[in-house]
Structure 1
Amino acid sequence: MLELDAWTGEILKAWKTSQQVSHMVVPTPDERKLYVANIGSGSVTVIDRSSDAVKTIPTGAGSEGIDVAPDGREIWVSNRAAHSLSIIDAATDRVRVTLESGGEMPIRIKFTPDGREVWVSNARSNTITVFDARTRQQLATIEVGAVPVGILMTPDGRRAFVANTNANQVTVIDVPGRNVLRTFATGTEPDGMAWAK
């Protein structure tokens, strides 16, 4: 894991995860800690940016999707080979609970901006499963396109965009109603998405 100067490209810090296929990374809201999902090791690496301490948390086979709650208290991880979700307590950096993902191959995970819901893309099921972040209950299943991967929320939390990698399209979903509004074509194999500023 590298920390770079955005202007010069200079490497400021480097941390070894000592895990296999380290992939997605998310910071806590205060940016003091980084959480890295390690697909090949079925784990999450925690990096303390102040002390440079590195810790490994076993999660589940194929840990890939990862997101931090807006309040910074929990980290949710999607384990694509185990078809499960691991919920990490940010205060202790331990897995608090493991849930069934509600679909096959959960590959990405995203909190709504208000932190009330967690959305999971299930690449093999071609679905999004929606969970209540507090009760952990599955609230809904939404059918989308072939091999949904990336999930992007609008800042107001009213719309979700899902990249359907094998369909070469993005599905737009009304978040409160949990219904598909429309689908539009993209380039080949869309995946990650971000807002331009």
Structure 2
Amino acid sequence: MRTHSRILPRRFPVLALALSVAALAPAAAGELLVGNKSADTVWFLSREDGRRTAVAETGAGPHEIAVSPDRRRAVVTNYGGRTPGHTLTVLDLVDGAAARTIELGDHGRPHGLRFLPGNRRVAVTTEDSGSLLVVDLDAGSGDDPVEAAIDVGDGMGHMVALSDDGEVAYVSKIAAGTVSRIDLKRARKTGERASGEGAEGIAYRRGHGELWVSNRAADTVTVHDPDTLEVTHTLQSKGFPIRVVFTADARHALVTNARAAELAVFDADSRKRVATIGLSGDDERYQETLLGRAALPIGVIADPTRPRVYVAISGADEIAVVDTGTWQVIERWRTGREPDALGVVE
């Protein structure tokens, strides 16, 4: 396997212009990155007003986005469509340079990913090979970018979370209904435990030593000890809980219930639900989906500097902007077809 750099067909000069303008504007609010799964694009939306500032084309089926801690680049997993994807797209967030494609060889259906410490490597789940990959984004043209392919076993490893120090990864398995613990230093799985049927969303509560998993078919969110993976609490979240993330202060857990078309908000300390935000709309954009509901919220991310949460409404091609003071939808921004993956650029 080799890393191949090539220019994908896209309108990337627009990105270079948009970033140049933003750098000159003191009031620039930064951007929200939105992966449009059925359009094979990432849209850059102003976090000030939802205005689209740039479009970058990706491989087929961009499912997840990770922004490097130094904010210099973003990585997109190209999951594929009917044909499995085997690539990552790397976007330059500073100079607007040509996007790069990293080939993963036999590791198909890349999905969840997180940046590892140092801004150079990412951990990526690949469903077809049952692996968690460690990928070097800066590998030379003659080098294999896959530094490690860690076997996580059968069960459809889907999403990944990292411990505070980045030395341990946790992978949710949809088909198995489990969560796995992976020691990245030793490059091996050290444990696996049941969480709930359809385990999919996963998040590590930074600074608190807790792992949260949303179990979509069980209508639950489970809280786990990160060392033993023991379930310490089980929360009810009916309506196909598909993602779980935390606000920047780790005070609230945000759960998208896809079939219920809502965002559930839990106080992370008390484990109590404190808000439920309905996300359905009234116009023709809310079309029927395979999951049986029109809105279909999936991806969710908290703004690190503003009292806002962004929810990708996949069935309506829009972002719902939620105010965290009132827990109300305050704006709706248009996207490309079937938004899901989200990232924030300061």
TM-score, structure 2 as length reference: 0.55
Q: In the alignment, what sits opposite 1:100?
A: 236
Give the Cα–Cα distance (whole angstroms) in 2 for the partners of residues 12 and 27 of structure 1: 18
1:17 equivalenced with 2:120 (yes/no) = no
Give the Cα–Cα distance (whole angstroms) in 2 for the partners of residues 184 and 156 of structure 1: 19
Give the Cα–Cα distance (whole angstroms) in 1 for the partners of residues 312 and 198 of structure 2: 20
Give the Cα–Cα distance (whole angstroms) in 1 for the partners of residues 208 and 194 of structure 2: 20
Specify whether residues 61 and 157 from structure 1 end up closer, same or farther in structure 2 by C-alpha distance, changes over 3 A only: farther
Give the Cα–Cα distance (whole angstroms) in 2 for the partners of residues 49 and 161 of structure 1: 31
**Cα contact 2:179–2:229 (8 A) shared by 1:** no
1:44 equivalenced with 2:179 (yes/no) = yes
Greater relative contact order (Cα 8 A, min sep 6): structure 1 or 2?
A: 2
Letter in 2 for 1:165: S
Give the Cα–Cα distance (whole angstroms) in 1 for the partners of residues 182 and 235 of structure 2: 25
1:5 equivalenced with 2:136 (yes/no) = yes
For residue 79 of structure 1, the aligned residue among 215, 220, 224 is: 215
CA apart distance, 1:157:
5.2
Structure 1 runs of 4+ off > 3 angstroms?
none
Q: In the alignment, what sits opposite 1:136?
A: 271
Give the Cα–Cα distance (whole angstroms) in 1 for the partners of residues 208 and 147 of structure 2: 25
Specify whether residues 28 and 157 from structure 1 end up closer, same or farther in structure 2 by C-alpha distance, changes over 3 A only: farther
Give the Cα–Cα distance (whole angstroms) in 1 for the partners of residues 229 and 221 of structure 2: 15
**Cα contact 1:57–1:94 (8 A) shared by 2:** yes
Give the Cα–Cα distance (whole angstroms) in 1 for the partners of residues 296 and 264 of structure 2: 14
Specify whether residues 72 and 17 from structure 1 end up closer, same or farther in structure 2 by C-alpha distance, changes over 3 A only: farther
Stretch moving more, 159-168 or 149-158: 149-158
Q: In the alignment, what sits opposite 1:66?
A: 202
CA apart distance, 1:19:
2.7
Alignment root-mean-square deviation, CA: 1.3
Give the Cα–Cα distance (whole angstroms) in 1 for the partners of residues 239 and 253 of structure 2: 16
Specify whether residues 157 and 44 from structure 1 end up closer, same or farther in structure 2 by C-alpha distance, changes over 3 A only: farther
Give the Cα–Cα distance (whole angstroms) in 2 for the partners of residues 19 and 160 of structure 1: 34
Identity value in percent: 35
Letter in 2 for 1:34: A
Q: Unmatched 5+ residue regions in structure 1?
A: none
Give the Cα–Cα distance (whole angstroms) in 2 for the partners of residues 126 and 133 of structure 1: 22
Q: Unmatched 5+ residue regions in structure 2?
A: 1-131, 281-294
Stretch moving more, 58-67 or 3-12: 3-12
Stretch moving more, 110-119 or 9-18: 9-18
Give the Cα–Cα distance (whole angstroms) in 2 for the partners of residues 195 and 156 of structure 1: 10
Q: Deviations over 1:137-172 (max 9, x none)?
A: 111100114000000111125110000001111100
**Cα contact 1:129–1:140 (8 A) shared by 2:** yes
Q: In the alignment, what sits opposite 2:302?
A: 153
Give the Cα–Cα distance (whole angstroms) in 1 for the partners of residues 208 and 162 of structure 2: 9
Greater Rg over alpha carbons, structure: 2
Q: Deviations over 1:14-52 (max 9, x none)?
A: 111113111111111210100111111101111011233
**Cα contact 1:66–1:110 (8 A) shared by 2:** yes
Q: In the alignment, what sits opposite 1:115?
A: 250
CA apart distance, 1:175:
1.0
Give the Cα–Cα distance (whole angstroms) in 2 for the partners of residues 129 and 56 of structure 1: 27
Give the Cα–Cα distance (whole angstroms) in 1 for the partners of residues 336 and 167 of structure 2: 36
**Cα contact 1:70–1:113 (8 A) shared by 2:** no
**Cα contact 1:28–1:72 (8 A) shared by 2:** no
